[in-house]
Amino acid sequence: MKKVLFILPALLLASGLVAYADLEGSASAHVYVKVDPNVAVGAQAIVDAGTVQMGEFCATVQFRVDANLQAVYLYAAASPLYKGDDPTNDEVLPIPLALSSGIEIAPTNANPMEGGSNVAAYTSTSVDIDGFPGTTTEMICFESSQNNHFSQDVFVTVCWNQDDPEKPTGEYSGKVKLWALLMPEAPSGS
């Protein structure tokens, strides 16, 4: 039994598991954290597009995009405009989107990468925007002129075409939405 009691402390000492009883001791550890990409989007709540009798007209919605990367992919969607803010109204046809115009996406301090256009063409993808049926656009990658971040207003201009000379009078409304995405790899040059 004495042999075992003598060997056990010697094994613990050799393996480094025993701390010496000095008057002071310390240890340190290396700590690290990875900051993940982050983006937030806010929107102007209500936009008055004015009045129209006939023809194409546009409205610009102000969004705010804040991201901790300089390259941000943006795309938008818009709905037709419905009488009485009612997308379920079957009696009055909505004012349709001017699909051939696309949606202009204009950040205050960023440009489309690789010489692209800031007018996003509509796709055939349908989306629900807070209960309103909408159509999305293609994605455009924008690079900020700010120092390795994207914190700025983004102006989104959508056009509709009121082509019915007998359209019932009144207020017609719909929705516009902007998405901002952060991708691990932007196009070359970022």
Every domain of the chain and the residues it spans: 37-181
pLDDT-derived band at 185 (thresholds 50, 70, 90) equals: low
User: Taking the model in full, what pTM does it have?
Assistant: 0.82
* pLDDT at residue number 190: 43
Helix or strand holding residue 26 (H, E): none
Mention every residue, 6+ apart, whose C-beta is less than 8 A from residue 100.
none
Rounded Cα–Cα distance for residues 129 and 136 (Å): 10
Q: Is the pLDDT of residue 59 over 60?
A: yes
Could you read off the pLDDT of 99-123 as tens digits, one per residue?
Answer: 999 999 999 999 999 999 999 999 9
Confidence of residue 88 (pLDDT cuts 50, 70, 90): very high
pLDDT grade for 36, boundaries at 50, 70 and 90? confident
Task: Kindly report, residue by residue over 120-161, the tens digit of the pLDDT.
Answer: 999 999 999 999 999 999 999 999 999 999 999 999 999 999
Res 9: pLDDT: 54
